């Protein structure tokens, strides 16, 4: 009987150790940067940018050189910047939208530049430089955009999207050398002054507000569709 009792006790202890081991592994897995990046990617695909950005940032806090988190965070910020830049002011009422969008675009450009130092794959680098060019283009930083597009085309000379964007950037850079250069310079100075008035913490808070409002609009739209009252969307 004593041996049976000891065997049961040993079995019980093994079970406890196994449970603790599984629990510890689950915690480590949840905190692993690759897992956090994966969760961010899932949120990104669902257009839940607030969760995606948070997950990528968490991954980078644990491991700052997680290249996929760096690149995808750049993508998420780029997407949100364009949403903010071209959003309907009556639907999303945020002051200094252009300044905040430009801050986000600048941050995404910084992330793309960092990613370009970490990736070695030719196809990945070509996409990174293309996106870097886009981030600069929407800030009207045509010289930087042109440089990025040229790097992208060196890796894939047949990419028509990059070639078109390069031609667009070259045209606008040349146009700005003409009579409109002074106006452009004044506009850039005004934008820089506005951006200096907004620090990164304020931009982050406003970004969270934007994402929340966008989520509320999407939830409302889903409720209307469920009730059969929503207008059908155009088939683009």
Note whether residue 230 is domain-resident.
Answer: no
Q: How many domains does the chain have?
A: 1
User: Is 3's pLDDT higher than 70?
Assistant: no
Note whether residue 5 is domain-resident.
Answer: no
pTM of the model: 0.67
The pLDDT tens digits of the residues spanning 130-162 come to 999 999 999 999 999 999 999 999 999 999 999
Note whether residue 219 is domain-resident.
Answer: no
Note whether residue 49 is domain-resident.
Answer: yes
Host domain of residue 173: 30-178+189-199
> Tell me, what CATH number does 39's domain have?
1.25.40.10
Sign (positive or negative) of CA dihedral 83, 87, 90, 93? positive
Distance CA 180, CA 157 (A): 32
Model confidence at 73, pLDDT cuts 50, 70, 90, reads very high
Distance CA 46, CA 38 (A): 13
Q: What percent of the chain has pLDDT over 90?
A: 46
DSSP 72-103: HHHHHHHHHHHHHHTS-TTTS--TTHHHHHHH
Angle 152-108-184 from CA coordinates, rounded to 5°: 85
Note whether residue 204 is domain-resident.
Answer: no
The pLDDT tens digits of the residues spanning 189-227 come to 555 554 444 455 555 555 665 555 555 555 665 665 555
């Amino acid at each position: 009987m004593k041996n049976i009792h000891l065997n049961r006790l040993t079995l019980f202890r093994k079970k406890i150790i196994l449970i603790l081991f599984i629990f510890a592994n689950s915690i480590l897995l949840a905190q692993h940067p690759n897992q956090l990046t994966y969760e961010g990617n899932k949120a990104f695909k669902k257009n839940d940018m607030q969760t995606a950005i948070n997950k990528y940032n968490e991954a980078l806090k644990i491991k700052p050189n997680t290249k996929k988190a760096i690149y995808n965070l750049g993508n998420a910020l780029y997407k949100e910047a364009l949403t903010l830049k071209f959003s309907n002011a009556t639907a999303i009422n945020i002051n200094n939208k252009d300044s905040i969008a430009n801050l986000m675009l600048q941050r995404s450009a910084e992330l793309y530049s960092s990613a370009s130092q970490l990736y070695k794959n030719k196809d990945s680098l070509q996409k990174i430089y293309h996106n870097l060019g886009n981030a600069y283009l929407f800030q009207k930083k045509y010289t930087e955009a042109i440089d990025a597009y040229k790097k992208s085309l060196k890796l894939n000379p047949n990419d028509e999207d990059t070639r078109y964007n390069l031609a667009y950037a070259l045209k606008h850079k040349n146009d700005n050398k003409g009579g409109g250069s002074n106006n452009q310079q004044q506009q850039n100075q005004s934008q820089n002054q506005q951006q200096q008035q907004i620090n990164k913490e304020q931009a982050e808070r406003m970004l969270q507000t934007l994402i929340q409002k966008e989520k509320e609009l999407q939830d409302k739209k889903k409720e209307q569709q469920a009730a059969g009252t929503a207008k059908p969307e155009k088939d683009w």
